[in-house]
Structure 1
Amino acid sequence: MVCTRKTKTLVSTCVILSGMTNIICLLYVGWVTNYIASVYVRGQEPAPDKKLEEDKGDTLKIIERLDHLENVIKQHIQEAPAKPEEAEAEPFTDSSLFAHWGQELSPEGRRMALKQFQYYGYNAYLSDRLPLDRPLPDLRPSGCRNLSFPASLPEVSIVFIFVNEALSVLLRSIHSAMERTPSHLLKEIILVDDNSSNEELKEKLTEYVDKVNGQKPGFIKVVRHSKQEGLIRSRVSGWRAATAPVVALFDAHVEFNVGWAEPVLTRIKENRKRIISPSFDNIKYDNFEIEEYPLAAQGFDWELWCRYLNPPKAWWKLENSTAPIRSPALIGCFIVDRQYFQEIGLLDEGMEVYGGENVELGIRWPLKS
């Protein structure tokens, strides 16, 4: 088809007008965004955990999410909640804590459990009554149990980050790491206390550490911040205290299962530039039962919130459930070669808000396996 000069001019004019229209729309959306943020959105209480209606614009979604996140940060960081013994429990009859647990508790027991739940966000009352070495179901794919690994693997330092964690939850994390990591692979455990105000995490935790170190001198190191530094700088503090070739950075409300260490250390031994995020299942907040999560990649959405993703087609074609899954992002807990982590600049210590570490490494550095 031959295009005349008149037609070409018309097409060019339409393209220019379209471009101008897009620019005007973007400027308008920016103005509306600022107006809504300052006048309208902040005057409303966002509905937590409620799916936003599909017909709401992306701009309003982002504003409401950020506004909700700001409120959460103020509540949990700047305005520390009252201690369990000081908090006044809300009426417990309709609390989600008792939907699947605690029906047999006395009214006083329910009040105590609810106070701790309101402070910690999980059932610390039940956790205090569970053994540190409680058995866990082995939820690995069947093929994982028959894998063999090199006899020589690098040692690992496990770092736990916490602030005002329930003591029993923290101790179970430590105990499970010691019991379910081969002793020749676990060099040390490092506890980073980001200026907790909970007295249990001072005297009683020190007693536990001294007891362990009495049998294995220097095995547990404690780093205590004089002011609250936040998650990212706390992780870097733990990395700085670590001495093993590999560092595993974890939250302090996890429980390790059998066979977790050998696969990730093997992957790093094969290529020191790999950063590994282990497979996670869920510890239910109310009854501490283990809920199996399907195998998934770890990604993020346009708001940079963490999302579990269906593994890529290339992984499914392998027809091997024991194969590692490449992911565009990380859950906050990960394992990395200690020197390589320094080479790529660690984590950005200027980050102040929870969640940035999930995507930062994948965005700013093209990781290759």
Structure 2
Amino acid sequence: MTFWRKRSKALCIGLTLAITVNLLVFFSKGTLQNLFMGGLHKELPLHLNEHDGAVIKRLSQLETELKHLKESMKLALRQQENVNNTMKRAKDEERPVLKAVEAKVKETKKHKTQMKLFPHSQLFRQWGEDLSEAQQKKAQDLFRKFGYNAYLSNQLPLNRTIPDTDHRCLQKTYPSQLPSLSVILIFMNEALSIIQRAITSIINRTPSRLLKEIILVDDFSSNGELKVHLDEKIKLYNQKYPGLLKIIRHPERKGLAQARNSGWEAATADVVAILDAHIEVNVGWAEPILARIQEDRTVIVSPVFDNIRFDTFTLDKYELAVDGFNWELWCRYDALPQAWIDLHDVTAPVKSPSVMGILAADRHFLGEIGSLDGGMLIYGGENVELSLRVWQCGGKIEILPCSRIAHLERHHKPYALDLTPALKRNALRVAEIWMDEHKHMVYLAWNIPLQNSGIDFGDISSRVALREKLKCKTFDWYLKNVYPLLKPIHTIVGYGRMKNLLDENVCLDQGPVPGNTPIMHYCHGFSSQNVYYHLTGELYVGQLIAEASARDRCLTDPGKAEKPILEPCSEAARNGLHIYWDFKRGGAVINRDTKRCLEMKKDLLGNHVLVLQTCTTQAWEIQHAVGDWVQTNSQ
């Protein structure tokens, strides 16, 4: 760049000098020529000496040289112009490059600032790209604490809109006179904004003439903001809506069932709606409930749930389904009954075998049938217990398509990292009170010994007496008339984990799902390692299936291949596959058709793998026996 600046300066000086000399020559030569021509014209004698002739000759030569200089200067100017154009193009080309570099620097700084601190956290899979590191840390801490995105919840408006109910429901009309409503919100260590949003949605979307009270039940929260801060919020609500909100605080942890009972006992309206505090009610949610209970006080109703995502708080609309359960008493969704489909009325109530945790009932009827079983501890099974009692003791359960509530499903339940002990205990309590001769199915599903289970499910004498007082029907009646999809099995003689005695640290396992290849895996006790041996010879591997039309997974000898497979039992039998086995505890597992034995060997990596081969001396043991199968097969 310095070279081109110096050259430009020299060209400017040379150009100035050339112009000056050119002017001097022009005027000098012109003057002399005028004198010469004037003398000739006037016929005056012009005396030019030798020196004057030389000057004129020199000026003529100088003129020629100046012409050459002009040409050189023009050439130099053209070269300078080319240089300037080249430099301009270089700058023009350099500008976007510089911009790209600057953008890259900014982007690098941005990514450096917003680097993902928790790349494996489920919270940040679809949310949080623009958060700073400090914000990410705060959001992750709140996620661990609550099991959902409390950071985002704290930023969302309390009165946010959610998608409306089906337009066919909005066209329905209801009686002008409906029962009054008490709404009960159960919580333990919820985020304050979650509770406020639930309250706000209830107030904004429930006719004030129907909503008598909102009762909050705090099941011994340790979260500090749910003390003073929540009380302050309740005061503000009550200033605007006098006497609407009440709060009950448990002095110790009592669990869901007792918390719901506390709310029910404090309620004064005709109908109680018992809800979780992490919900948002939809437009027109209350009228279908109150109208249906006004028609029939013995019906327990449930709204349709929509799902609030734990990370983004967006809403997924769930399709209508009935509430069911499996033999572990875990909730599940089942298909709509054909009788309801035949009505061709999408707004009609749907009979349901069970109810989820959210329900509404006539307050007095709920008391007559025993409210909720206070002996159910912490979490799990209380909804199934109520459902069996309602159906078996003269009531009914229905899902109302025109009542919708958005429910926030936690990613994890921070108040109990391992709910298994409570779930097992509560499931056995339900089985012993309500399931009669079919109670063994709960024991089998949970892999619990039928005798001496070692699980204390509490005193059930008062609940058994209640069943007798209400003259309740049998569980067999319930299976046949209410929930025929739930299939009891009475041919199982052995169940639990199954081990080869060569190495008792590994268990028979259903293997990866999806897939149909059983494996040997280190024993862990989860349902994928449950094995059920039938008196008829089938070996089920995996979770005990509840449905009558289930694709039970039977251990199968394919006939030629070395490895066993898992196939749906009914299909395998129809296709001529070999699903029947002879097995004695402490003995071999022999296929009845192929006579090959289920055994294990080590692969090249030293891992145990299952094989079907000519029988050696390998023996198997199964964890539990039913009835006298121990004596029969140990002989």
Contact 1:160 1:190 in 2 (8 A): yes
Give the corresponding residue for 2:139.
Answer: 113
Q: Distance in 2 between matches of 1:356 and 1:245?
A: 26
Query: Could you tell me the TM-score, scaled by structure 2's length?
Result: 0.43
Give the corresponding residue for 2:182.
Answer: 157
> How far off its partner does 1:335 sit?
0.3
CA deviations on 1:17-50 (whole Å, 9 max, x unpaired) are xxxxxxxxxxxxxxxxxxxxxxxxxxxxxxxxxx
Contact 1:239 1:247 in 2 (8 A): yes
Summarize the Cα distance change of 1:365–1:135 in structure 2 as closer, same or farther, 3 Å threshold: closer
Matched residue of 2:324: which SS?
Answer: strand
Determine if the alignment matches structure 1 residue 354 to structure 2 residue 382: no
Contact 1:330 1:359 in 2 (8 A): yes
Q: Distance in 1 between matches of 2:385 and 2:166?
A: 30
CA deviations on 1:334-359 (whole Å, 9 max, x unpaired) are 00000000000111100114121221
Q: Distance in 1 between matches of 2:173 and 2:364?
A: 27
Contact 2:323 2:352 in 1 (8 A): yes
Summarize the Cα distance change of 1:362–1:130 in structure 2 as closer, same or farther, 3 Å threshold: same
- Which letter does structure 2 place at the counterpart of 1:132? L
Determine if the alignment matches structure 1 residue 94 to structure 2 residue 120: yes
Q: Distance in 1 between matches of 2:191 and 2:204?
A: 20
Give the corresponding residue for 1:143.
Answer: 168
> How far off its partner does 1:91 sit?
5.1
Contact 1:194 1:227 in 2 (8 A): yes
Return the match for 1:257 from 282, 300, 315: 282
Return the match for 1:180 from 205, 214, 228: 205
Determine if the alignment matches structure 1 residue 309 to structure 2 residue 334: yes
> How far off its partner does 1:364 sit?
2.5
Contact 1:332 1:355 in 2 (8 A): no
> How far off its partner does 1:323 sit?
1.1
Q: Distance in 2 between matches of 1:104 and 1:314?
A: 51
Query: Could you tell me the TM-score, scaled by structure 1's length?
Result: 0.74
Determine if the alignment matches structure 1 residue 200 to structure 2 residue 225: yes
Q: Report the structure, 1 or 2, having the larger strand content.
A: 2
Determine if the alignment matches structure 1 residue 331 to structure 2 residue 356: yes
Mind listing any 5+ residue stretches in structure 1 that lack a counterpart? 1-89
> How far off its partner does 1:131 sit?
0.5
Contact 1:156 1:186 in 2 (8 A): yes
Matched residue of 1:188: which SS?
Answer: strand
> How far off its partner does 1:199 sit?
1.0
Q: Distance in 2 between matches of 1:365 and 1:117?
A: 37
Q: Distance in 1 between matches of 2:311 and 2:396?
A: 39
Q: Distance in 1 between matches of 2:350 and 2:117?
A: 45
Percent of residue pairs bearing the same amino acid type? 52
Q: Distance in 1 between matches of 2:297 and 2:331?
A: 25
Matched residue of 1:281: which SS?
Answer: strand
For these two proteins, the number of residue pairs brought into alignment is 279
Give the corresponding residue for 2:396.
Answer: 368
Return the match for 1:229 from 244, 254, 266: 254
Give the corresponding residue for 2:264.
Answer: 239
Return the match for 1:342 from 335, 342, 367: 367
Contact 2:117 2:136 in 1 (8 A): no
- Which letter does structure 1 place at the counterpart of 2:340? W
Q: Distance in 1 between matches of 2:120 and 2:386?
A: 42
Matched residue of 1:365: which SS?
Answer: helix
CA deviations on 1:116-154 (whole Å, 9 max, x unpaired) are 00110000000000000011111x333101000000000
Runs of 4+ in 1 over 4 A off after TM superposition: none
- Which letter does structure 2 place at the counterpart of 1:314? A
Matched residue of 2:190: which SS?
Answer: coil
Summarize the Cα distance change of 1:98–1:238 in structure 2 as closer, same or farther, 3 Å threshold: same
CA RMSD, 1 decimal: 1.3
Q: Distance in 2 between matches of 1:141 and 1:357?
A: 31
State the structure with more CA Rg.
2
Matched residue of 1:279: which SS?
Answer: strand
> How far off its partner does 1:301 sit?
1.0
Contact 1:141 1:322 in 2 (8 A): no
Matched residue of 2:304: which SS?
Answer: coil
Contact 1:297 1:309 in 2 (8 A): yes
Q: Distance in 1 between matches of 2:124 and 2:328?
A: 33
- Which letter does structure 1 place at the counterpart of 2:146? Y
Matched residue of 2:189: which SS?
Answer: coil
Contact 1:141 1:321 in 2 (8 A): no
Q: Distance in 1 between matches of 2:149 and 2:387?
A: 34
State the structure with bigger RCO (CA 8 A, min sep 6), 1 or 2.
Answer: 1
Q: Distance in 2 between matches of 1:155 and 1:225?
A: 26
- Which letter does structure 1 place at the counterpart of 2:304? S
Mind listing any 5+ residue stretches in structure 2 that lack a counterpart? 1-115, 398-635
Q: How does 1:59-138 map to 2 (within 5 A)?
A: 92-138=118-164
Give the corresponding residue for 2:241.
Answer: 216
Give the corresponding residue for 1:57.
Answer: none
Contact 2:158 2:196 in 1 (8 A): yes
- Which letter does structure 1 place at the counterpart of 2:337? P
Give the corresponding residue for 1:76.
Answer: none
Matched residue of 2:283: which SS?
Answer: coil
Q: Distance in 2 between matches of 1:357 and 1:184?
A: 32
CA deviations on 1:267-325 (whole Å, 9 max, x unpaired) are 00000111011111000000000001000101111211100111101111111111111
CA deviations on 1:250-276 (whole Å, 9 max, x unpaired) are 000000110000011100000011101
